[in-house]
Amino acid sequence: QVQLVVSGGGLVQAGGSLRLSCAASGRTFSNYGMGWFRQAPGKEREFVAAISSIGGLTYYADSVKGRFTISRDNAKNTLYLQMNSLKPEDTAVYSCATKPPLSGSYYNENEYRYWGQGTQVTVSS
């Protein structure tokens, strides 16, 4: 079992920045790939970014590439998402999730096992 607590959301103007954190407890954090997903009102959940277990590989949705940066600190059992140049279309509930070793695509939410509770990010125009 892994528990994930997400923090750092809020209200920001377009062009601003936020950093989300996902603190993990339970099984060894460094064994898992990690991902960020988001869900806007009336839309399906979508992939945002992911990172391999030791941080050597990162993956991004085209919509956030160049603006968002995913990182992790395995010593602190924490995952981060630095979001810059935010746009109103980034408004959503953001969640983190764990991806077991040797499972499938980082882009597929069905490959993730444990999920955090989500945090609201609202970008005003």
What's the pLDDT at 14? Answer: 98
What are the strands, taking DSSP E only, across 2-103? 2-7, 10-13, 18-26, 33-39, 46-51, 58-60, 68-73, 78-83, 92-99
Residue-level pLDDT, tens digit, the chain, 125 residues:
889 999 999 999 999 999 999 999 976 888 899 999 999 999 999 999 999 988 789 999 999 999 999 999 999 999 999 999 999 999 999 999 999 988 889 999 999 999 999 999 999 99
What's the pLDDT at 36? Answer: 98
d(CA 77, CA 118): 17
First-to-final CA distance of the chain: 40
Evaluate whether 92 touches 39 at the Cβ level (below 8 Å).
yes
Q: What single-letter amino acid sits at 19?
A: R
